[in-house]
Amino acid sequence: MAKTSPLVLDAMIVTGNTKAAIKAAGGGSSDLWTVPPDQIHYDPRDNVRPLDHDRVRHLAELMKANGYDRKKPLGCFVRKVGGEDRIFVYEGQHRYHAALLAIKEGGFAKDKEIDRLPCVIDESKSVNRVNLIYAGITNNDGEKLTPLQLAEKVIELQELGEPNASICKRLNITDQTIRDVLLLAHAPAGLHKLVREKVVSSTLAIEEIRAHGGDKALERLQNAAQQVKAGGKAKVTKKALDKAAEGKITSTQAKQLLQALQSVLHDPVFGKLSPKTIAGVHEALMPHADLLDAKPLAKKTPAQADLDDRQFRELKGRSCPKGVTADIRIARVDRNRYVMATTILLPGEGRAQPLSAADVKSGFCWAKPEQAFAAGVRSIRKFLTLEANNARNVKERAAVSNWLDQLCTAEPDIGRAEGEQAATERAGKAAWPFPSGGRP
């Protein structure tokens, strides 16, 4: 599956008292709250866009010369942390980090020093993870999120229980947009790299995935990228892609042809072929004699490619009716760490998650495979019981639920692990394994 940014599912935000936080931070108020920069906190999970360090550097230099523009306050909220009310920034992260960098380096023009930053703090009753995601996306509308960034947030909203209809309405996008960005999200990591480096546009990548599938699209786009680079250009266009594909045998196809000829050479009845055919096979293979005894290359699954060919296991919902897909996938990243992803696609609704080794860095992993599978069972069960979707696809939901029950019965270790996770959730604790430095 595609290798994307890890999805971090946080516990509910416990909001704090704005005035108490401002007082504790030594802040003041005029038209806006003004707060010393070192008293404002930052969590990258509260911001929808990854931090661009080049942009931070650029803004820091502008602030040294011109000071901080008070007409652009930071968007913040108050989070309760360890019993303390703390101010967290969720809009304006680049301005916030630029101010910290400028203060650290010094060199301000006269009267341009920064001692406080203007903040607008949201009311506590409006603060939750879903609203932070929506606000982060819509507030970035002037500089739109890339399709990959949008896909990551759509997947996170789905995991938080948001139905596609709500996502479409609040982001003013269509069902087709959701389908397109999820196609891109689950493409091979190599294709993501081409898009992020702006060698290939997201639109062209999505068109290729839809027409040829993720692996074939990656192969076609990589070949085209090599050709345009050789011609002194940096970006693959539709025209360049079509030209690259005309009358050209790709490296993958060449390997397949070589392996096919090797199979003919080693066939028991090879000697019974016509002398002309035998001579033709030998003539074609002799220049590649050093490759003939090599073990044929096994085709990698997307998840194996993303996880450096480490162990991969998959169970699919074969008992589900036609038109329904449900699966749980796990991969072993190292000796005692497994990652998990699920897919649940019903007529007219559903969600799909990428399987990524990057989840380990976020603490989204398990020590045993049965625990990872059990977490997948819990994730799908939660989707099936969402109030917003209960009235739809009753028959299909029942079929998927029966499949989960059969899976837990057939593999008791998974059933026991799911029971333990359910008990943990009922006790009011997070079922996910959040190690130190991972999820709160």
**Six token digits for residue 242:** 């079509």
Minimal CA–CA distance to 407: which of 343, 341, 326? Answer: 326
Band (pLDDT 50/70/90 cuts) for residue 187 is: confident
| Percentage of the chain modeled with pLDDT above 70 | 70
DSSP3 helix / strand / coil % (the chain, rounded to 5)? 50, 15, 35
User: What are the tens digits of pLDDT across the range 339-354?
Assistant: 887 777 666 666 666 6
Q: Provide the terminal-to-terminal Cα distance of the chain, rounded to the nearest Å.
A: 27
Mean predicted lDDT score pLDDT of the chain: 75
Minimal CA–CA distance to 99: which of 121, 119, 122? Answer: 119
User: What are the tens digits of pLDDT across the range 134-151?
Assistant: 877 877 545 667 888 888
Band (pLDDT 50/70/90 cuts) for residue 50 is: confident
Band (pLDDT 50/70/90 cuts) for residue 160 is: confident
pLDDT confidence of residue 103: 93
Q: What mean pLDDT is predicted for residues 155-171?
A: 83
Q: What kind of fold does domain 18-145 have according to CATH?
A: 3.90.1530
User: What are the tens digits of pLDDT across the range 68-104?
Assistant: 988 889 989 999 888 899 999 988 889 999 999 999 9
Q: Which amino acid is present at 57?
A: R
CB-based burial, 311-345: b 16+ in 10 Å, e otherwise: ebeebebeebeeebebbbbbbbbeeebbbbbbbbb
- pLDDT value at 287 more than 90: no
Minimal CA–CA distance to 228: which of 200, 203, 247, 207? Answer: 200
pTM above 0.75, yes or no: no
Q: Which amino acid is present at 324?
A: V
Supply the DSSP symbol for 114.
Answer: -
